[in-house]
Structure 1
Amino acid sequence: MLTSTQAVQNSALFADVIRERRSVRHYDKSIRLSHEEIKELLKEATLAPSSSNVQPWRFLVIETEELKAKLQPIAYNQSQVTEAAAVIVVLGDTEGYKKLDEVFGEAVKYGYIAEDTAKSFVERSIHTYASLPEESLHKIIHIDGGIVSQQLMLVARAHGYDTVAMGGYNAAELKQAFGIGDRYIPIMLIALGKAAQPGHQTTRLPIDDITFFNEMPVN
């Protein structure tokens, strides 16, 4: 159990992470990450929550100079694509729910959930997801993909790396160029590496202007 002092220290460290995260667009080209380092970042990122714990996110890591150069025009020639150590293509798997047996099988093995409860939940969830209209399924996947993407950016900062989320790219060209099947939905690109120039300081709207308790304002 954490002591009160440790809890305060951990809270302070987390506050540093969220305050120091910046959208970095210029990277040190000499910095590279190993596959193990990238997988560790992704492993921590995937502790994020998802609807029914489906975990529909999938990651295509683009790290070779040749493939980053191939990606750059698809991402409207943004310089961070070729400067960063890697670009993480965050995808949503429209068939991800088919792995629920595997997900909850592991939970049963570790004693997190009773076997009969897991079996009932999995059967019900698979039926629900298989019956969803495409628009509803895609909405869920985009939400889950956004959550894991934000967590990845915070995890990267906690490990001393920098990121920028990119929504500016041609999704159809991305899928064609990198052989991404129709079952996958591109969510965003995330450049990952070490900043060559710090990201710009930014401001936020006052919390009192954007928070409403119990009822919305008239205007």
Structure 2
Amino acid sequence: MHLFQAIRERRSIKSFDPAHRFSKDEEDLLIDLAVQSPSSFNAQHWRLVNVKDASLRAQIRSVAADQSQVTDASLLFVVCADLKAWQKGPERYFRNAPQDIQDLLVPWMGKFYEYNDLLQRDEGIRSATFIAHTMMLSAKAMGYDSCPLIGFDPIEVSKLVKLPDNHVIAMMLAIGKSTKPAWPKPGYVDRSEILFENTF
């Protein structure tokens, strides 16, 4: 599917075929495309928990407003962010960059993030959102559908997936084969309300 078509046709699908399974090659392709996403300082803050265990999915569904996508979608990812990715061997994020770029950016990361917890969280959530959106468009281009989920108890889901310290959950993402078409697009605000030139 052409990228423009995937962007226009991507919808948040609520009903998935619970019998459908992705092949290993399809899963590998989805992740390969996902990690092409941008991230600040190339720190790749995102962490994906691919929840395959049916009983664990059922437990997550119980703290996610009983949303059927949690158990019925072929894939369920808990999309997380490592807030301390900037500390963890930052030289590896630039190992293929020219030496002058490495010399500039690797030391700068610490100065940029240190002592700024809000920025660390913002950057983590941004990166996690980038990868989730790439996955949604990639899934659509592959002929599948998706649904980002925020209607869940993050504390309980964190316990269930054993979220490490200094990590946060940005969203969950269900991907699979839809069984019902989405309702018509509900509508857009006027472009004049969202697009400004130079200043508000």
Q: 2:90 aligns with which of 77, 81, 100?
A: 100
Counterpart in the other structure of 1:208: 192
Superposition deviation, residue 186 in structure 1: 0.3
Unaligned 5+ runs, structure 2: none
Q: Deviations over 1:43-101 (max 9, x none)?
A: 21221111111110010001232221121112121111111112111000012112421
Unaligned 5+ runs, structure 1: 1-11, 108-112
Q: CA, structure 1 residues 95+19, in 2 after alignment: closer, same or farther (shift >3 Å)? A: same
Q: 1:147 aligns with which of 114, 127, 130?
A: 130
- The TM-score, its normalising length taken from structure 2, stands at 0.92
Q: 1:125 aligns with which of 88, 104, 109?
A: 109
Question: 2:36 aligned with 1:52, yes or no?
Answer: no
> Aligned with 1:192: secondary structure?
strand
- The TM-score, its normalising length taken from structure 1, stands at 0.84
User: What percent of counterpart residues are identical?
Assistant: 27
Q: Deviations over 1:130-165 (max 9, x none)?
A: x13212210111122112211110011011111000
Question: 2:9 aligned with 1:20, yes or no?
Answer: yes
Question: 2:21 aligned with 1:32, yes or no?
Answer: yes
Superposition deviation, residue 207 in structure 1: 1.8
Q: CA, structure 1 residues 99+31, in 2 after alignment: closer, same or farther (shift >3 Å)? A: farther
Query: Between Structure 1 and Structure 2, whose CA radius of gyration is higher?
Result: 1
Paired residue type of 2:179 = A
Structure 1 runs, 4 residues or longer, greater than 6 Å off: none
Counterpart in the other structure of 1:182: 165
Counterpart in the other structure of 1:163: 146
Q: What root-mean-square deviation, in Å, do the aligned CA atoms of Structure 1 and Structure 2 show?
A: 1.6
Instruction: Tell me which protein shows more helix as a share of its residues.
Output: 1
Q: Are the counterparts in 2 of residues 22 and 200 from structure 1 also a CA contact under 8 Å?
A: no
Q: Are the counterparts in 1 of residues 81 and 125 from structure 2 also a CA contact under 8 Å?
A: yes
Counterpart in the other structure of 1:136: 119
Paired residue type of 2:57 = K
